[in-house]
């Protein structure tokens, strides 16, 4: 009986760890599936998928009041370099606009609860908004602005301009301009 005891412990621990893989921080449990939103220029589609641990290395995770600026990763930008002579001007204009917006948000007290950052990751996981949790596959979104808040439905704006994005921020978060 004493010799069999370690075998049963190993068997029990092995079965228990296989069962708990769905509860690990890098895996999503079967009872909760994150939705994947793909915004295309011609139409919007939404479908529910399971986020695999392999996706997590290329994922930006956000929560709370957040303004996330989306830029293409280096490989996609290299492709644009070969296809579009105006990519440097467009990227520079967008970079200037997001810098101006982020500076304004960081310096003005009325935006104190809003966080900002820039991501070139393929997946964006939003943890707490009105229609969250959600994972967005931005394979078709090269440049954009994602706005999220606990009480509001997630918004992705891909209609970009060269000015700052404070009007979009003010509208989404119901902030009155002075």
Domain locations in the chain as residue ranges: 35-173
Q: What is the mean pLDDT of residues 151-172?
A: 89
Is pLDDT of 75 > 80?
yes
Is pLDDT of 170 > 90?
yes
Q: How confident is the model at residue 132 (pLDDT cuts 50, 70, 90)?
A: confident
Rounded CA-CA distance 33/121 in Å is: 20
Compute the radius of gyration of the chain from its Cα atoms.
Answer: 21
Rounded CA-CA distance 155/163 in Å is: 19
pTM (predicted TM-score):
0.68
Q: What is the mean pLDDT of residues 34-63?
A: 53
Q: What is the mean pLDDT of residues 2-25?
A: 38
Rounded CA-CA distance 151/153 in Å is: 7
Rounded CA-CA distance 82/14 in Å is: 52
Is pLDDT of 58 > 60?
yes
Residue 102: partners with Cβ closer than 8 Å, 6 or more residues away:
67, 69, 116
Q: What element of type H or E holds 125?
A: strand 123-126
51 closest CA partner among 72, 76, 25:
25
Residue whose token pair is 């070969």: 82
51 closest CA partner among 24, 77, 70:
24
Average per-residue pLDDT for the chain? 75
What three-state secondary structure class fits 133? coil
Cβ distance 28 to 51 under 8 Å?
Answer: yes
């Amino acid at each position: 009986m004493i010799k069999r005891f370690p075998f049963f412990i190993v068997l029990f621990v092995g079965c228990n760890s296989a069962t708990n893989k769905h509860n690990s921080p890098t895996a999503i449990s079967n009872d909760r599936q994150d939705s994947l939103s793909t915004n295309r220029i011609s139409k919007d589609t939404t479908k529910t998928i399971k986020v695999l641990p392999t996706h997590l290395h290329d994922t930006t995770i956000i929560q709370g009041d957040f303004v996330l600026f989306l830029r293409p990763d280096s490989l996609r930008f290299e492709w644009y370099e070969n296809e579009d002579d105006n990519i440097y001007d467009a990227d520079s204009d967008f970079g200037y606009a997001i810098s101006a917006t982020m500076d304004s948000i960081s310096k003005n007290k009325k935006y104190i609860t809003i966080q900002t950052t820039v991501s070139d990751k393929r997946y964006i996981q939003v943890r707490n908004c009105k229609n969250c949790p959600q994972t967005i596959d931005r394979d078709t979104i090269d440049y954009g602005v994602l706005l999220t808040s606990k009480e509001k439905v997630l918004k992705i704006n891909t209609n970009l301009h060269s000015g700052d994005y404070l009007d979009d921020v003010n509208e989404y978060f119901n902030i009155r301009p002075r």
